[in-house]
């Protein structure tokens, strides 16, 4: 890969990818225990989160000084709802790693005023000194966080209407019932995401191959929000072989 700003690494499988990234995050946190981490939901980072939990359990990583910000949350759900992203993160990461609840930051899907909640979140990120390392997944339609493809993209944290395909891919959080998936969410904006000092996007499985190919080789367009990552100076894309199968080349992980 000749692009100095976009490093691509292709791993043999998603297990090796998750383990390698977990080791790297643990060593970054070892060097700078007060890291501010940006986190994503979705199936893709689950293995990574469990690996971080395993490192913590073996005493090989200390996350007690880390601050976290998640990308997004369903609008209309209280944090304690079993389908909320907050519940997902508690189950897969927070309770496994000793990350302190008072250092976890989340958009509140049941806040009285969406705009005020979004402004509060942007202020909280700025107040924490910005995000050092942002972990990202990618939707099959190229969304990042919940910035859906469209005619325009919001820069700051905002309220979004979810596409039918996004609601379908989130149905597992609601017992497989797509009708129970909220129609709206709050999401960090593309500007908020691009302000993170380092971005690491993970994509696995052949269903991601097309959007990954467009992200790497296509034009920057609001029709593929992930393409805006090309504007960032420090992006790493970590793939398994199926996600890289449409002509995306990278280093071997």
Contacting residues toward ligand GLP, per CB under 6 A: 40-44, 71-72, 137-139, 145-146, 166, 169-170
Which residue number, 65 or 180, has a Cβ lying nearer to ligand GLP? Answer: 180
User: Which residues on adjacent β-strands are paired with residue 221?
Assistant: 224
Is residue 91 annotated as part of the catalytic site, yes or no? no
**Helix/strand/coil for 221:** strand
Catalytic residue among 143, 147, 158, 170: 143
Complex with ligand GLP: residue 100 or 223, whichever CB lies closer:
223
Least distance between ligand GLP and beta carbon 102 (Å): 24
DSSP 162: P
What are the angstrom distances between the C-alpha of 224 and each of 2, 202, 233, 234?
Answer: 22, 16, 19, 19
Which of 43/60 has CB closer to ligand GLP? 43
Distance CA 136, CA 201 (A): 4
Q: Which is nearer to ligand GLP, 168 or 249 (CB)?
A: 168
Work out how close the CB of 137 gets to ligand GLP at its nearest, in angstroms, rounded to a whole number.
3
Handedness of CA 29, 192, 104, 236 (dihedral sign): negative
Do residues 146 and 166 make contact, with C-beta atoms less than 8 angstroms apart? yes
- Selected catalytic residue, list 72, 73, 122, 240: 72
141 is catalytic: yes
* Residue 83 C-beta: closest distance to ligand GLP, Å: 12
What's the alpha-carbon Rg for the chain, to the nearest Å? 17
Q: Report, as residue numbers or ranges, the catalytic residues.
A: 72, 141, 143, 148
């Amino acid at each position: 890969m000749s692009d100095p700003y976009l490093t691509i690494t292709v791993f043999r499988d998603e297990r090796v990818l998750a383990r390698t990234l977990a080791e790297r995050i643990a060593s970054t946190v070892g060097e700078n225990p007060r890291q501010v981490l940006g986190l994503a939901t979705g199936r893709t980072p689950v293995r990574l989160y469990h690996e971080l939990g395993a490192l913590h359990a073996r005493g090989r990583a200390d996350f007690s000084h880390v601050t976290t910000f998640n990308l997004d949350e369903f609008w209309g759900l209280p944090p304690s709802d079993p389908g909320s992203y907050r519940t997902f993160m508690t189950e897969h990461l927070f309770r496994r790693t000793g990350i302190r609840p008072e250092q976890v930051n989340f958009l509140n899907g049941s806040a009285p005023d969406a705009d005020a909640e979004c402004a509060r979140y942007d202020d909280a990120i700025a107040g924490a000194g910005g995000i050092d390392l942002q972990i990202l997944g990618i939707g099959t339609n190229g969304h990042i966080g919940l910035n859906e493809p469209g005619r325009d993209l919001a820069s700051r944290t905002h309220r979004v209407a979810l596409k039918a395909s996004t609601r379908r891919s989130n149905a597992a959080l609601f017992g497989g019932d797509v009708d129970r998936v909220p129609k709206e969410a709050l999401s960090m904006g593309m500007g908020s995401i691009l302000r993170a000092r380092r971005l690491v996007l993970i994509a696995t499985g052949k269903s991601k191959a097309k959007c990954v190919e467009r992200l790497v080789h296509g034009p920057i367009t609001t029709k593929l929000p992930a393409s805006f990552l090309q504007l960032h100076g420090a992006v790493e894309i970590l793939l398994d072989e199926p996600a890289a199968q449409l002509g995306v080349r990278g280093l071997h992980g």
